[in-house]
Amino acid sequence: MHILTKEEFIANREEYFQKILDGAVFIYPTDTIYGIGCNALIPKAVERIRKLKQREDQPFSVIIPSIDWIYDHCKVLPDSEEYINKLPGPYTLLFKLTDQKALAKEINPTMKGVGVRMPNHWFTKVAAFLNIPIVTTSANVSGDNYMTTIEDLDDRIKNHVDFIIYEGEKHGKPSKIINLIDEGAKVIRD
């Protein structure tokens, strides 16, 4: 496991982009807190995150490469537009997934819905450049405190990721979750 700065990550982007494409599991900063992620198209990588987080079947969200990804792979109801227009930002929007091949089935074992994020953060450009969805879930064992500094990171996770992009302490909280699967948007987490 290697801890690197944003500048080191960018300077060596070809190497790290290839690692992401190949299924690396890594920790990265967002506009809210630190996330743990991987290429959301690689089942084995998603399963590694499930084991690290000790999260058997609860769905994961993904950072999407573009707003178009939502329209290409999800059912978008008329009242969803208001929330789509808030992206990028500290929101996770839940949609019904219409394209089962858009993500590894391990993202959500029921494959009925998917949480999508576009953090207002430089890291979102990585998903856009690679043109892949990236798993986004808090960097913690399920039920434990989420990571805001490197000191917060549980050794059970820290010792089993391929690399960490660290940019100092975060002062945010997890993203607001809005359910847009059915008519009438519902805030699940504020």
SS3 category, 22: helix
What domain range includes position 124? Answer: 2-189
Tell me which amino acid residue 104 is. Answer: A
Cβ distance 178 to 83 under 8 Å? yes
The top-scoring range by mean pLDDT among 103-117, 121-135, 138-152 is 121-135
Indicate whether 110 pLDDT > 80. no
With pLDDT > 70 as the criterion, what percentage of the chain qualifies? 99
Q: What pLDDT band is residue 55 in, cutting at 50, 70 and 90?
A: confident
CA angle 64, 118, 53 (to 5 degrees): 75
Indicate whether 112 pLDDT > 80. no
78-98: average pLDDT:
94
Report the chain's mean pLDDT, rounded to a whole number.
Answer: 94
74-88: average pLDDT:
94
CATH code of residue 72: 3.90.870.10
| Interval 17-50: pLDDT, tens | 999 999 999 999 999 999 999 999 999 999 999 9
Residue 38 is given by DSSP the state: -
Cβ distance 61 to 116 under 8 Å? yes
pLDDT of residue 182: 87
pLDDT of residue 111: 64
The region, left, alpha or beta by phi > 0 then psi within -120 to 50, assigned to residue 181 is alpha
pLDDT of residue 185: 77
What single string gives the DSSP state of each residue in 51-120?
Answer: HHHT-SSSPPEEE-S-HHHHHHHEE--GGGHHHHTT-SSSEEEEEEES-GGGS-GGG-TT-SEEEEE--S
Integer Cα distance of 189 and 63 in angstroms = 18
pTM: 0.95
- Number of domains, the chain: 1
Indicate whether 86 pLDDT > 70. yes
Tell me which amino acid residue 181 is. Answer: I
Indicate whether 189 pLDDT > 90. no
Indicate whether 1 pLDDT > 80. no
Q: Which helix (H) or strand (E) holds 164?
A: strand 163-165
Indicate whether 124 pLDDT > 70. yes
